[in-house]
Amino acid sequence: MTLSISNKSQAEAVNRPVIIDIKDLSLRYSSQDLNVLDYIDLQLYEKDFVCVLGPSGCGKSSLLNVIAGFQKQSTGEVMMNGKTRKKPNADIGVVFQHHNLFPWLSIEKNVAFGLKMKGVPKKARKQTVSYYLELVGLSAAAKKLPYQVSGGMKQRAAIARTLITDPKVILMDEPFSALDAITRVSMQNHLLEIWRKTKKCIFFITHDVEEALLLGTRIVVMQSNPGRVIVDMQNPLIRQNKPIESIKREKEFNKWSDYLLSCISDTESEIEA
């Protein structure tokens, strides 16, 4: 049996509002002859967990930076909830590969930082912080300084610090790539649990096809030179509330993993099933 996979977004079939609408977006850095991003059309829907794959240098981080408003596109636009989004704003949270915690503040103060900046009173801040610390499993580490906790805990604090400001969309640029294999699996479980509880729209860049299959509701593959979206599909393996370990054991897991790897190296869109 041969499975055909459309490169067109299957998410268009879902009945959820679009949060981010990227239209005809191109980007060329002044130092380059070719567009880094070339006429990208992509929609992020409410409750999406979009994992973005692609070869190194295909423009994944550039796309994230444009969506976040850190980098201006050359042509096209990014709409957020129907309005053109021109600069960074609190509706878009970003988690990078490095946690960027303030080393002199405790974990709870780092997590509280965004609320303090917003002028949220101390009492309300305390309650919200303890909710988010519990959500990411860091209640016991609240008083510790970043250097006193593990890499995975620091990254969980960074996620809590982003979640606490209640952004509509969270952009994550390879947030687990600097972690060791065991911590990484534990972080994947944490993130999936957080997403299942909050259903935030997440745009998650990774180099790891398995990570994309374990976490994403939707998988986007980009090609390079110029950076374009060549695959945009619903994750065929994601199941409501299934733990990561059992998704990995599904008999189709290796096949989809091979398929995505082949997409990264060429634009092949068919697999033998």
Ligand X SMILES: Nc1ncnc2c1ncn2[C@@H]1O[C@H](COP(=O)(O)OP(=O)(O)OP(=O)(O)O)[C@@H](O)[C@H]1O
User: Where do contacts with ligand X occur on this chain (CB under 6 A)?
Assistant: 29, 31, 36, 54, 56-62
Q: Least CB distance from residue 108 to ligand X, whole Å?
A: 32
- What are the residues facing 169 on neighbouring strands? 92, 201
Which one, 28 or 255, has the nearer CB to ligand X? 28
Q: Least CB distance from residue 235 to ligand X, whole Å?
A: 20
* Sign of the torsion angle spanned by Cα atoms 39, 55, 267, 20: negative
- Decide: 60 and 54 in contact? Cβ < 8 Å: yes
Longest dimension (CA), the chain: 61
Q: Least CB distance from residue 160 to ligand X, whole Å?
A: 25
Instruction: For 77-89, give the DSSP string.
Output: EEEETTEE--S--
Q: Least CB distance from residue 177 to ligand X, whole Å?
A: 9
Q: Least CB distance from residue 66 to ligand X, whole Å?
A: 10
Which one, 31 or 127, has the nearer CB to ligand X? 31
Q: How far is residue 203's CA from residue 210's CA, in Å, rounded to a whole number?
A: 16
Q: How far is residue 150's CA from residue 179's CA, in Å, rounded to a whole number?
A: 10
Which one, 76 or 236, has the nearer CB to ligand X? 76
Which one, 66 or 135, has the nearer CB to ligand X? 66
Q: Which helix (H) or strand (E) holds 75?
A: strand 75-80
Which one, 108 or 232, has the nearer CB to ligand X? 232
DSSP state of 146: G
Q: Least CB distance from residue 16 to ligand X, whole Å?
A: 27
Q: CA angle, corner 65, sides to 60 and 67, nearest 5? A: 95
Which one, 17 or 57, has the nearer CB to ligand X? 57
Q: How far is residue 73's CA from residue 37's CA, in Å, rounded to a whole number?
A: 9
Q: Least CB distance from residue 59 to ligand X, whole Å?
A: 4
DSSP state of 135: H
Q: How many other C-beta atoms can be found within 10 angstroms of the C-beta atom of residue 216?
A: 24
Q: How far is residue 3's CA from residue 8's CA, in Å, rounded to a whole number?
A: 15
Which one, 60 or 154, has the nearer CB to ligand X? 60
Q: How far is residue 36's CA from residue 57's CA, in Å, rounded to a whole number?
A: 8
